[in-house]
Amino acid sequence: NAGVTQTPKFQVLKTGQSMTLQCAQDMNHNSMYWYRQDPGMGLRLIYYSASEGTTDKGEVPNGYNVSRLNKREFSLRLESAAPSQTSVYFCASSSSGTGAQPQHFGDGTRLSIL
């Protein structure tokens, strides 16, 4: 019973490098989300995808891009990493784009930018 799976779990990058965080869910959920969590800031929405084929910006989208590859997979890309992007990244999914369903989270990716 995997739920939401994120890879990698840890990553260290140098400033200017690029990388893609992967997320896959096996719950047949329509909506998927990417958050970052920083001390004292709570969870902040980076991008979301209400359904397959659509993506929209959240609260803090600058420096990130996303791809909803199919219903299961939603990836987050950092094109040119900056130290300010050091954070814990969580992917989440929920069953409806307009309903009142709670979100289920992956285990997170701990990313450090040197």
Partner 1 sequence: QKEVEQNSGPLSVPEGAIASLNCTYSDRGSQSFFWYRQYSGKSPELIMSIYSNGDKEDGRFTAQLNKASQYVSLLIRDSQPSDSATYLCAVRNSGGYQKVTFGTGTKLQVIP
Nearer to partner 1, 14 or 28 (CB): 28
In whole angstroms, the minimum distance from the beta carbon of 102 to partner 1 comes to 5
Nearer to partner 1, 5 or 17 (CB): 5
Are 27 and 104 within 8 A, CB to CB?
A: yes
C-alpha–C-alpha distance, residues 97 and 74, integer Å = 15
In whole angstroms, the minimum distance from the beta carbon of 71 to partner 1 comes to 16
In whole angstroms, the minimum distance from the beta carbon of 45 to partner 1 comes to 7
- Extract the tokens encoding 85: 């992007």
Burial class (CB in 10 A: 0-12, 13-18, 19+), 59: exposed
Nearer to partner 1, 58 or 63 (CB): 58
In whole angstroms, the minimum distance from the beta carbon of 93 to partner 1 comes to 11
Q: Which residues contact partner 1 (rule: CB under 8 A)?
A: 31, 35, 40-43, 45, 48, 50, 56, 58, 90, 94, 96-108
Are 45 and 31 within 8 A, CB to CB?
A: no
Nearer to partner 1, 38 or 79 (CB): 38
Are 63 and 82 within 8 A, CB to CB?
A: yes
